[in-house]
Amino acid sequence: MDRAKENRRLSRRLAIVAVGMFGFGFALVPFYNQICAALGINSLQQPDVVNTQVDRSRTVTVEFDSNAHNLPWRFRPLVSHVQVHPGELTTVEYEIVNVREAPVTGQAVPSYGPQLAGEYFKKIECFCFTQQTLAAGETRRMPVTFVVDPKLPKSMTSIALSYTFFEVAGRGGKS
């Protein structure tokens, strides 16, 4: 019987030690978080990220225009204008439809008004970077992602962006 009592006592002590270790493990989590927060490492709380390059004190109106020079395409921006803060990343879309019964390849050429605005208009992604081939009757939406440079003169409050598509010679079918 003494052996059975000894085993029960030992089992109770092991259970108490196991519960104590389990509790200690839980107690370490907030302690660990406080240490990490104090040292600025492995933070689980994300700080509010603010783009300091955006000039929120100014607003610039960017107007969009489109032309398809002697191309059988309907080409238009999906919005006529946007209000942006200099330094702010913005995306707009254009829609293009090939109304010809054959594929056609074109290249878009941008222009700016006033012309000086082109120096401050930075395109990140644009359909104008590559030739576009549209199948007969195809409709496509194409993004333009841009930033207006915060160095834009304060007197310039409006920019016009116009794209003209020209057919690429020797590419696509002609009717």
pLDDT, tens digit, for every residue of 122-159?
Answer: 999 999 999 999 999 999 999 999 999 999 999 999 99
What is the mean predicted confidence (pLDDT) over 83-106?
A: 95
Q: What is the pTM of this model?
A: 0.67
41, 113: one domain: no
Q: Report if residue 54 sits inside a domain.
A: no
Supply the range of the domain harboring residue 90: 60-172
Query: Which pLDDT score is estimated for 175?
Result: 41
Structure tokens at 39: 């040292």
111, 166: one domain: yes
Question: What is the rounded CA–CA span in Å between residue 156 and residue 114?
Answer: 9
3-state SS, residue 10:
helix
Query: Which pLDDT score is estimated for 49?
Result: 52
